[in-house]
Amino acid sequence: MTGVNDVSARRQDPVALLRAAGARCTCSGECGRTHHTIDAGRCSRTTDLIAAPRDLTVTSPTAACEAELTVWCRRCHKSAVSKAMPIPSIPETDSLF
Ligand SMILES: [Zn+2]
Ligand SMILES: [Zn+2]
């Protein structure tokens, strides 16, 4: 009776993630690059992979622990994050008043 199948749904095992993703980047165009069109809409990179939140606006480590992770290659992740994040605003005082 050691029901230790899954300690928590929150802490996701990177290896399991990787396996589920077929050890490939799961980016399907979020990064804005076009290489995805040649491989069933998915990035074909199998190297330089990282586990990172699917929700690219999640940046704090705490939030990332709770977020749903997925597999990215670094290149896609970097581009996707910079696309998803609003450019940290240059403090323009334009329309405050
Ligand atoms: Zn990509
Ligand atoms: Zn990729």
Neighbours of ion ligand 1 (CB under 5 A): 27, 31, 43, 76
Q: Ligand 1 centre from 6 Cα, in Å? A: 30
φ, ψ of residue 69 to 5 degrees: the values are -90, 155
Closest ligand (CA of 35): 1
Contact 51, 18 (CB under 8 A): yes
Q: Ligand 1 centre from 35 Cα, in Å? A: 7
| pLDDT tens readout for residues 68-83 | 899 999 999 999 999 9
Residue 13 to residue 4: CA distance in whole angstroms: 14
pTM of the predicted model, to two decimals? Answer: 0.71
- The mean predicted confidence, pLDDT, of the chain is 80
Q: What does the pLDDT read at residue 95?
A: 62
